[in-house]
Amino acid sequence: MGAQSAGPLVVGVDSSTQSTKTLVVDADTGVVVARGQAPHTVSGGDGKESDPAQWWRALGEALRQCGAAARQATALSVAGQQHGLVTLDAAGAPVRPALLWNDVRPAPQSARLIEELGGPKAWADRVGSVPAPAFTVAKWAWLRANEPAAAAATRAVRLPHDYLTERLTGEAVTDRGDASGTGWWASATESYDTAILNHVGLDPAVLPRVALPGEAAGTVHTGDLPLPRGALVAAGTGDNMAAALGLGLLPGQPVLSLGTSGTVYAVSGRRPADPSGTVAGFADARGDWLPLACTLNCTLAVDRIAALLGRDREAVEPGGDAVVLPFLDGERTPNLPGASGLVHGLRHDTTAGQLLQAAYDGAVFALLKALDQVLDEDAAAGAPLLLIGGGAKGRAWRETVRRLSGRPVAVPDAQELVALGAAAQAAGLLLGEDPAAVARRWGTARGARYAARERDASAWERLAGTLADGDTLLRR
């Protein structure tokens, strides 16, 4: 156990693609008194899958690392990776490994669903989003088409955070934030869309109920984990919604997250409905909205290019006209699920450092281009970009964002913002407060600030031109 606490203790859980992290936090001050982490494994190849049972084991291991502090917690919340399809049988055991958000095999089902149910605008108006291959509805359609026996054996469908919450409480509960990434929860009505469910052959009875913001999912009913029985369990939410809570975001504050995937988002009071499909019209965990765009290729893609070049990830050099679009895993934004990486403009005098910088530029360009569509009238033009995620610690990432955005940049000191946001949700439930206000009281967004730099318009134009001219290659 680390720092001492004065107030009640809460636990925030971040069940991500690669690991489960747990924080035990003083609900009054936001001081982290203990932390734990345990890894997950993800299948290789075309599919991206994980056994949900390992998430539960990782949660137990991460909590055990927190020692006595976890056993003193009075409330907890689970935030999880969005979109994942968890299929359970009649006994509540996984029918097959979960299909994860970054599994792009459902691209044909995504395209077919958009066409069959009225086109992109109809989906955006109704659901708030045009369902990309990541969306759970496309994954369910893929499962029915490719593994009909598994689909037929399914008696419950959950998102990753729902699965863990249900094992903690015995209650089938989700929240509006994570539900808004399924493709079968309609933002226009804030309810499950029975017409979409009928179309994909999914009985609404197999889905969890959607808790209201501030509502509990239940209490801890299992003795399998080092948690007190009867501790309050919040409804939880998706990882991006939790990070927004963890920062205590006010409407219009832009966030750029640099991790395995890259995301840009902002809280808004207006329900988003982007027919281009670039912006996902997510709900947040509080009752507002979280328009968000996500790229599949961010820190890991740039690290891979650094490794191919035999350079440290920070060993970038300025200059040159090379362009790299690092779409190594296919891409979601722009919607190019079959794409591979594209390099253009090499010359005899192009250096390895310039090529690495071009890879950073390509990854950041895709995010900033999407940010222009994420932000609405709530957003102040000169508001600093909040830079979070693992990449935010890297100078090359930060300076690339400054150079291509022309905006000031702020890097919060707080780490593990998804788990902190889950902890803020748990504290809000326990104390009867708005969880975003709890996070603001904790001062989670404090950190280093960097002034705006002049925007590199020539680099931006090279990137935009290469993306447009390379369209045929990128769609093969």
Q: Which residues are catalytic?
A: 239
Q: Using the structure block, give the residue that is written with the tokens 């809570």.
A: 245
**312 vs 316: CA distance, rounded Å:** 8
Q: Which amino acid is at 317?
A: E
Cα dihedral 350/315/463/399 (nearest 10): -140
Structural contact between residues 167 and 116, judged by C-beta atoms closer than 8 angstroms: no
Contact 296, 261 (CB under 8 A): yes
Integer angstrom CA distances of residue 411 from 266, 292, 387, 394, 415? 16, 19, 5, 11, 10
CA pair distance 232, 211, nearest whole angstrom: 14
Instruction: Report strand pairing: 216-219 vs 32-39.
Output: unpaired
Residues in the chain: 476
Distance CA 458, CA 314 (A): 22
How far is the C-alpha of 131 from the C-alpha of 184, rounded, in Å?
9
The residue assigned the tokens 């990137």 is 463
Q: List the 289-295 sheet strands across, edge first.
A: 280-283, 289-295, 262-265, 255-258, 385-388, 409-412, 447-450
Q: Which are the contacts of 261, defined by CB distance < 8 A and separation ≥ 6?
A: 101, 102, 294, 295, 296, 297, 298
Chain-centre distance for alpha carbon 163 = 17
